[in-house]
Structures are given as structure tokens and as C-alpha cells.
Amino acid sequence: MNFQLDLIQDKIEFFEAYDLKTLEKKINTQIEHNKAILLQVHQVSHQMITDENGKPYYSAVVHFKAKK
């Protein structure tokens, strides 16, 4: 049996929530998880829209890259 281990170089994750506090908590939790596999935040992009009820809806894309 042959095992080959490769490091993850890039990882993109998507997050969404109805308030900024929840969105931030989700992102921070995932940042801590990704530190364990030697990834750090490279770029963050976010948007806010209103749903059909006029309630704000937040989304974010976080690009993680391997630490050098």
C-alpha cells in the first residue's frame, strides 16, 4: 500500500448569514481550523443584499493559501 501526502496550497470557502456578527463568527472559526492545516487568509471578499422581506443578507468568500 502506497500513501502520498500532499499539502493543500489553495482553498476557497463561502460563508453566509443574516447578520455580521454570525458571519464573522463563522469565518473566525474556519480560520482557526485552517491554521491546523497550515493555511492562512489571503483575501476576503464580501457582499450584502436584501432578501425578499427586506432583511439584509451577508455573504463572504475567503481565499486561504498555504503558509510559506
16: Cβ–Cβ under 8 A, 6 or more apart, which residues? 23, 57, 58, 59, 60
Domain membership of residue 62 (yes or no) is yes
The residue segments making up the domain with residue 33 are 10-66
Domain membership of residue 48 (yes or no) is yes
Confidence of residue 59 (pLDDT cuts 50, 70, 90): very high
Domain membership of residue 18 (yes or no) is yes
pTM of structure: 0.84
Q: What CATH code is carried by the domain that includes residue 45?
A: 3.30.1660
Total domain count, the chain: 1
Confidence of residue 2 (pLDDT cuts 50, 70, 90): confident
Instruction: Please give the torsion angle defined by the CA atoms of residues 34, 36, 41 and 42, in that order, rounded to the nearest 10 degrees.
Output: -100
List, in sequence order, every residue forming a beta bridge with 61; answer none if it has no partner: 14, 45
Domain membership of residue 5 (yes or no) is no
Provide the pLDDT for residue 42.
96
Domain membership of residue 39 (yes or no) is yes
Provide the pLDDT for residue 33.
96
